[in-house]
Chains A and B, each alone.
Chain A
Amino acid sequence: MKEKLVMVGNGMAGVRTLEELLKLAPNAYDITVFGAEPYGNYNRIMLSPVLAGEKTIDDIMLNDEQWYVDNGITLKKGQEIVDIDRVNRKVIAADGSEQSYDRLLLATGSNPFMIPVPGNDLKGVISFRDIHDVDQMLAASKEHKHAVVIGGGLLGLEAANGLMQQGMSVTVVHLMDSLMERQLDKPAAAMLKRSLEERGLHFLMQAQTEAIIGDTRVEKVRFKDGTEIYADLVVMAVGIRPNTELAKKSGIHCERGVVVNDTLQTFDPRIYAVGECVQHRGIAYGLVAPLFEMGKVCANHLAKIGIGRYEGSMTSTKLKVTGIDLFSAGDFTGDENTEELVFQDAAQGVYRKLVVQENRIKGAVMYGDTIDGAWYFDLMRDETDISDFRNNILFGQAHLGDSGHGDDNRVAQMADSAEICGCNGVCKGDIVQAIGDKKLFTLEDVRAHTKASSSCGSCTGLVESLLAHTVGGDYSVAPHLKPMCGCTERSHDEVRVTIKDQELKSIRAVMDFLEWKTPDGCSKCRPALNYYLVCAWPQEGLDDYQSRFINERAHANIQNDGTYSVIPRMWGGGTSPKELRAIADVAEEYKVKTVHVTGGQRIALYGLKKEELPRIWKRLSDAGMVSGHAYGKALRTVKTCVGKEWCRFGTQDSTHLGIELEKMTWGSWTPHKFKMAASGCPRNCAEATIKDLGVVCVDSGYEIHVGGNGGVKVRATDLLCNVSSEEEVLEYTAAFMQLYREEAHYLERTAPWIERVGLTYVKERIVEDVDARKTLAERFLHSQKFAQVDPWKERAEGVDEHEFVPLKKVS
């Protein structure tokens, strides 16, 4: 017989836990759910837009009653559990009925706090927590005029805004002298107050409520200083208290909330708890993102998989008032050990503050333009050392040395028709609608449903902003480390370390050792694992071609019509009549539709059939050419200018240097593509300062620049160091490439990698630590011994023949 799982509290955290459980172990339990509210599970967050008239109750249902039926769950809605008999393992409902359990899940949420003043039980005095409250507010707004909201925090302001949208005249009463004092500092709060006042809200600051006055229905609110104001409706939004009543009564250890450990178990190991009712490591959370993280871990243990621990979350907040962009995370007040970085442009209504300690972000407050909120949040979570870009950090990620697409920033003000994702043509309106209609909470969800941000990724910040703006916080938060993909909980770094430490030498071995959740991974993790293995064990020939993206498997670039392109290497951008003749011959013979001079100083042939590739490669190979790896996460091109040999300004032989660099590095597999250039003087005709590694020749020698990118987001390089000989350039390059190869995440280009680990770190390893540089360079050259095999020549001679010929031709 199946075990019985009973859940008390049919809210967002609990049901999310069940969803996660059903994904992992659909048939593990007979599940019964008790919910005091007479509905399925709805998106409580969206009560604010419902109140503001932007959504309806139907829009915000997450799991309707059919969902419970479809999943074999018994839903007892409108039934409150009043007691738990832990000895006999059963729960008792208000109507006296009983239900036994093997495991019990408490998800009772929290209760709004009603300030204990006379009159707080009068008709028309309510809280803002559930559908019932919203119904009452909407009804009041039809018959009455004056609303008073007590509490100038997130919830209070959203309530006030909603009531104002419904036509009421609203006064917000706040005890402190500054709004949202737990999320905002004074300047940001002042800007917020000003714009809310412009919209028509009234504020009474530093006002302490003394009594609520009325016969049966509220009529007035009186304050300590004796003033009184009219009120037909009073909404109390002064805070919430974890709902521990049931747990306490049945003897489960509670403090402020129900105390749980890292596996979300209460003091009684058969009883789990998740959500706002919980206190974990001293913290009770009041936002959805951490609750969902809890749900995930809890489900894992209920499913008896037993891996994963909840280790706490960092949270960020947003105010869901249409047209107002506001972001806050972490410790934004600081103390004597912290510094503040502030940017303020009052005319534009923009304010940003970062609280920094020892060059690490501790907190952030932003008002007016919050596009970079997600970025600051990441930097904070990863504890990134910001010293290398601290001078520019307040201008935002888009301004780290670039032009980029980072201009049109204010998502709140954008029209619905504004295009957010240029690759897939997705507009703001599409995304906002999908978030609502399809109940999306994470960036991954939005990508899957709308395709926005799923291609080149340059609009990720905008999408995150929109998401936060629509659902009110950062939903992509993982407690500590981001998992590689849905197949595992492990991060890239953990996987890389384990491969080395455990001497794992196949994708299968990695998946088995780290308990992959899928039988053979997915198109995200397999290529990554393959690369990590190839990089860790160069000598062993571990390359698993079936785990490579088609371009790297076929050694040519797949095109939109299923044909392929061929781009042979032209060392340092140079070529010869013999090579050109061979290319011309091939182009004629195979009726090549397009011959194109690429952006990387070489020639590309387009529209080739896969079957023809080995024969074409043979022709090019006979003329002495090798693969240009234009298809690979690999060394691509080394652009050069003519340099000292011809140019009147040339200081060194940049062409020769470029060719030497390319000869040393070609064939190397890298986490993402790797491009180089060498310019003969600071005029920099080879555009060395937007390459992964660029050399600018100067009279005294060579400047080595790293971490540039000319792609999606232009980033100019950082200067690594100056050296005086070609030999040194080669050694530093080998060392730099190897450091990148060994430590970057798969598909992380040098630019974001350097922004993540910091230039200072790279300098320490490559410039300051001579031994480290030499051993890195040695490891690079060692691995090149096995990598520098021309894949085209091999295939022209018959390797992987099956890849290029059909299995059969049937006529």
Chain B
Amino acid sequence: MQHVEKLDMAQDWIEVGKLADIPRLGARVVNSPLGDIAVFRTASDEVFALRDKCPHKGGPLSQGIVHGKRVACPLHDWKIHLDSGEAVAPDEGCAASFPVKLDGDTVLLSLAASDGCPNK
């Protein structure tokens, strides 16, 4: 995946918790100086991090229902791709994504948001 390479170069990995702290098909929030970041865990234990703000009207994505590699926003049910932060077509918009990885069962997050999202 594209952002994985990029993040290996980033220095400032922050330990945010254990994989088991995040429910499968769920998310938890990290409060950061950049605002809230939602860290998602899929059924297959992949982790993703997005700005906790829906591109539609700012709904907290962390509160949505996770399915496949998508989350359904709790406010008006837009679907957002967890990997890119892009809204699933035909909706348009994008939530900034953040590098996140697993070191064993530890979840590491970087605050260097991906490029290309207008609503960082």
Contact = CB atoms under 8 A, between A and B. Distances in A.
A558 B65 contact: no
A647 interface: no
Nearest to B65: A523
Contacts of A438: 90
Interface string A420-458: 000000000000000000100000000011000011000
Interface stretch (A160-168, A192-200, A736-744, A801-809): A801-809
Given A558-B74, A810-B31, A810-B33, A523 B64 contact: yes
Contacts of A520: 25, 43, 67-68
A562 B17 contact: no
15 contacts: A518-B68, A519-B43, A521-B67, A522-B72, A545-B23, A546-B25, A546-B65, A560-B57, A562-B58, A562-B60, A807-B17, A807-B30, A808-B31, A810-B32, A810-B33
Contact of B65 (A526, A560, A561, A810): A526
B59 to A, nearest CB: 7
Nearest to A526: B65
B26 A806 contact: no
Contacts of A522: 65, 67, 72, 79
A807 B66 contact: no
A562 B68 contact: no
A546 B77 contact: no
Interface string A460-478: 0000000000000000000
Contacts of B74: 549-550, 558
A438 B91 CA distance: 13
Contacts of A148: none
Contact of B75 (A449, A521, A560): A560
A437 B26 CA distance: 37
A810 B63 contact: no
Contacts of A549: 65, 74
B63 A554 contact: yes
B120 interface: no
A679 interface: no
Contacts of B59: 562
A810 B111 contact: yes
B8 to A, nearest CB: 20
Nearest to B32: A810
A614 interface: no
Given A554-B63, A807-B17, A810-B111, A546 B24 contact: yes
B17 to A, nearest CB: 5
A448 B90 contact: yes
Contacts of A526: 65, 67
Given A449-B90, A549-B74, A558-B74, A806 B67 contact: no
B112 interface: no
Nearest to B71: A523
A527 interface: yes
Interface in A516-573: 518-523, 526-527, 545-547, 549-550, 553-554, 558, 560-562
A521 B79 CA distance: 13
B39 interface: yes
Contacts of B111: 810
Contacts of B26: 546
B95 interface: no
Contacts of A725: none
A810 B30 contact: yes
A549 B75 CA distance: 10
B14 interface: yes
B41 to A, nearest CB: 10
B79 to A, nearest CB: 8
A523 B21 contact: no
B30 A808 contact: yes
B23 A546 contact: yes
A304 B103 CA distance: 40
B23 A806 contact: no
Given A520-B68, A802-B23, A807 B43 contact: no
Contact of A810 (B16, B43, B107): B16
A523 B29 contact: no
A519 B66 CA distance: 11
B113 interface: no
Given A549-B65, A562-B59, A562-B63, 11 more contacts: A518-B67, A546-B24, A546-B26, A802-B22, A806-B29, A806-B31, A807-B21, A807-B30, A810-B14, A810-B16, A810-B30
Given A546-B65, A562-B60, A807 B39 contact: yes
B81 interface: no
A571 to B, nearest CB: 30
Contact of B63 (A527, A547, A558, A561): A558
A523 B63 CA distance: 12
State the 7 A-B residue pairs at the shortest beta-carbon distance, nearest first: A523-B72, A807-B28, A550-B63, A546-B25, A808-B16, A523-B65, A809-B31
B21 A802 contact: yes
B68 A519 contact: yes
Interface string B64-106: 1111100010111101000000000011000000000000000
Contacts of B63: 550, 553-554, 558, 562
A811 interface: yes
A456 to B, nearest CB: 12
Given A545-B23, A560-B75, A523 B90 contact: no
Contacts of B72: 522-523
B29 to A, nearest CB: 5
B90 A808 contact: no
Nearest to B66: A546
Contacts of A545: 23
Nearest to B57: A560
B65 A806 contact: no
A448 B78 CA distance: 9
A550 B36 CA distance: 17
A518 B79 CA distance: 15
Nearest to A800: B23
A604 B115 CA distance: 42
Nearest to B72: A523
A454 B90 CA distance: 14
Given A519-B43, A562-B58, A809-B31, A527 B65 contact: yes
Contacts of B43: 519-520
A806 B68 contact: no
A807 B16 contact: yes
A313 to B, nearest CB: 27
Nearest to B25: A546
Contacts of A527: 65
A558 B16 contact: no
Contacts of B30: 806-810
User: Taking each of B36, B72, B91, which has the highest tally of chain A beta carbons within 10 Å of its own beta carbon?
Assistant: B72
A558 B75 CA distance: 8
B20 to A, nearest CB: 10
Nearest to A448: B90
A523 B28 contact: no
A800 to B, nearest CB: 9
A234 to B, nearest CB: 43
Nearest to A553: B63
A560 B53 CA distance: 12
Interface in A724-782: none
A550 B29 contact: no
A802 B28 contact: yes
Contacts of B107: 807
A562 B36 CA distance: 12
